[in-house]
Every structure is written in C-alpha cells, then in structure tokens.
Amino acid sequence: MTAEMQIDSYLTALRLHLGPLTIAEREEIVREIGAHVRDSAEETGASIETVLARLGPAKELAAQYRDGLLIRQASRSNSPIVLLRATLRLATKGVFGILVFFLAIFGYAMGGGLVLTALIKPIFPANTGLWFDGNGHFMSSGTLFPPPGSSAHEVLGLWYIPLALTIGSLALLLTTFLIRRSLRISQHWQSKL
Amino acid sequence: MAQLRAQPAEGDPSDRWVAQLRKGALEMAALASLWRGRLYGLEIIRFLENHSRLVLAEGTIYPILSRLKAEGLLTSEWVEAEAGHPRKYYSLTDAGRQRLRQMAEAWVGFAGGLSRLLEPVLHPADQDPSAGTPVLKTQEITQ
C-alpha cells in the first residue's frame, strides 16, 4: 500500500466513525487530521504507518470527538432519548455517570408512570388511584389489575388526574434539569480528565 | 526526569493517577500554548513536548481543540502553507484568554498549597533539623 493509500484508508475509517456529526464538521476534522499526518511524517521523517500508529486507531479518535459533541448537544436538549443516550455514554466513564444514569431511569420512569396512569384513569377509573386501608395507612397507588381488595378505599377520585399529571410533569422536568446539569458538570470534568 | 505519558496507563494505580492528572492539565496546557500567538495542531503538540514535558498520544489534542473551539475559547482559520496543503491554525479568543488566566491563577494557588503540604514527604530530613534526633524511616513510623 502506498503512503497516500494508507492515509486515505485511515481518513475513510475516521469519516465513517464520525457518522453522527454534520458533514461540515466531519470534513473539517478529516482535513485537519490529514494535514497532521502529512506534516508529522515530513517533519520527523517517520513512515506514514508510524505516524498513524501514534494517532491511535481511527475508531478511538472519532470516539473522542463524538463523546465531547454528544454530551455538549445533550446538555442543551430536552429530548429524553438524546439525554438518556448521553447518560448511557457517561455511565461507561465512571461512578458519577452510573449514578446519573440510574437517576435518569428512575426519574423518567416515575414521571412517565404518573402521567400515564393519569391518562388511564378515565378509561379504568376503578383500577387507578391512591388507596389507604381501614386504619388510614397508605396501601398502594397507580393503576392496578385487579384493583386492591375491599379493605382498601380510594381517596382521590377524579382528583387523581390533575395531581398525577402535575407531580408526573414536575418529576419529568426535574429529571431533565438534573441530567442536563450533570452533563454540564461532566463536560467540565471531561475537559479536565 | 521521567516524562509524563499521555497514554492511559494500565495496571499500577499510581500510573493511572498520573495519567489522570496529566489529562486534567491538558486543556489548560493547550490554551497556554496559544498565549503568544496562533499555532496549528502539530505545533501545539511539539510546543507542549518542549515546554512542559507533556508527551501526548498525538490524537488526543485534536478533539480537545475542537471542544475548546465549540466553547468559544478558540477560533481557527485555514492558512495556505508552503508545504503544499493548508493548515488549521488556532488562536485564543478574548473569552479564551480570560478563561486561561483564571485557570492559571487557580492552578498556581492550588499547586503552591499542595507543594507546601508535600514538602515533608519529599524531604523528610528537613522536617525538624533543630531537634537533632535521627529521622525515622517510614517503616518505623508506621509500626
């Protein structure tokens, strides 16, 4: 393989692994790395192979670009999918990331669950609610099939709908806020770690 | 003196710690290399090698430069070179200069404090010269 072919094959792999970036960002990176390889080989007299080895595998180099970008974009996003993807990525990097990931899952599950049961309440009114037993102790809440036995009484009635919607939405908002906050913090660390 | 390597060290926890520490300083080092004027990627790598003994896995610096640029701390421009291909030169923005100054102050304050703390660790003999007692070896102290 000639030197030019080696460079091309490295840059092609890099371009491939930079997939999620915009074309402009991708081409800019590829052009810069290409210039680096040629300059570095010229300057040190090293073979293209050596220079490419010093750069590390194209896949890993691309991953370093992508991580920074993914987390940066996500820290400005409201989409649960984008945020969860970023936290999942963060979770591979250490304990803080794992905690954030579980918090995200918990927050989305709780918020989403409450909103969902609020929507189900009009369809299955007897199965959805907040139940206490005869002594006034909390028994259960949400949507249950079958509903709790006769010892339980449901206390909210149709009030369940606005309450669950409000608390659920607040949980979703708070989760979004906390994830974005954590991603920003991790960005600062990342630039330091 | 041994050089601090950029590659993630495996195995020995103290090697890993040094690698983390090194990486931690890299963003500041990249900004600092541009304090006197614009440089392109390879020049930044060489500058850091010559001025700070930071030996980089060469791929490491480019994603960092890209991130610093996205944060508005750097700008870049392509400049035609005699080499035959253009090079991407980076320079500090005003925000970059300001951030670097803050980082430098924080770093120097932090390092100064820690150096005093670590002084007895590195020079145990200086600990209490007036007492005239023989310096205990680490082993004896822990027993």
At A85-124, the pLDDT tens digits run 888 888 887 888 899 999 999 999 999 999 999 999 999 9
Q: Residue A62 sits in which domain range? A: 1-74
Q: Is the pLDDT of residue B3 over 70?
A: no
A87 and A166 inside one domain? yes
CA distance A105 to A116: 16
Which helix or strand (DSSP H or E) is residue B22 part of? helix B13-33
Confidence of residue B1 (pLDDT cuts 50, 70, 90): very low
Rounded to 5°, angle at Cα B28 from A184 and A192 = 40
A85 and A22 inside one domain? no
- Percent of chain A residues topping a pLDDT of 70: 96
Residue A31 makes CB contacts below 8 A (sequence gap 6+) with B88
Q: Would you say A143 and A124 are in contact if contact means Cβ atoms under 8 Å apart?
A: yes
Q: pLDDT value at position A28? A: 93
A42 and A105 inside one domain? no
A50 and A141 inside one domain? no
* Phi, psi dihedrals of residue A164, rounded to the nearest 5°: -65, -40
Q: How many CB pairs lie under 8 A apart between chains A and B?
A: 67
A170 and A93 inside one domain? yes
Span B68-93, average pLDDT: 90
CA distance A51 to A36: 9
CA distance A31 to A28: 5
Average pLDDT, chain A: 87
A100 and A177 inside one domain? yes
Q: Is the pLDDT of residue B91 over 80?
A: yes
Tokens of A36: 């680096």
A90 and A185 inside one domain? yes
CB contact under 8 A, A40 and B58: yes
A6 and A30 inside one domain? yes
- From the CA of A8, how many Å to the nearest CA of chain B? 15
A3 and A83 inside one domain? no
Using the 3D structure, point to which of A74, A100, A128 is the last residue of a domain.
A74
Q: pLDDT value at position B102? A: 93
Q: Would you say A51 and A41 are in contact if contact means Cβ atoms under 8 Å apart?
A: yes
pLDDT in tens, A114-165: 999 999 999 998 888 998 888 888 888 888 888 887 788 888 888 999 999 9
Q: How many structural domains are present in chain A?
A: 2
User: Helix H segments across chain A?
Assistant: 3-17, 23-44, 48-55, 58-74, 80-91, 95-120, 160-192
Q: pLDDT value at position B126? A: 58
CA distance A158 to A119: 11
Using the 3D structure, point to which of A74, A101, A125 is the last residue of a domain.
A74
Whether chain A has a CB inside 8 Å of the CB on B60: the answer is yes
pLDDT in tens, A50-92: 999 989 999 999 988 887 777 777 777 888 888 888 888 888 8
Using the 3D structure, point to which of A48, A74, A100 is the last residue of a domain.
A74
Q: Best of B22, B28, B66 to disrupt the A interface by mutation (most A CBs within 10 Å)?
A: B66
Confidence of residue B130 (pLDDT cuts 50, 70, 90): low
Q: Is the pLDDT of residue B132 over 80?
A: no
CA distance B30 to B62: 10
A17 and A93 inside one domain? no
CA distance A87 to A82: 9
A103 and A70 inside one domain? no
Nearest CA in chain B to A67: B63
3-state class of B48 per DSSP?
helix
Nearest CA in chain B to A191: B27
A99 and A5 inside one domain? no
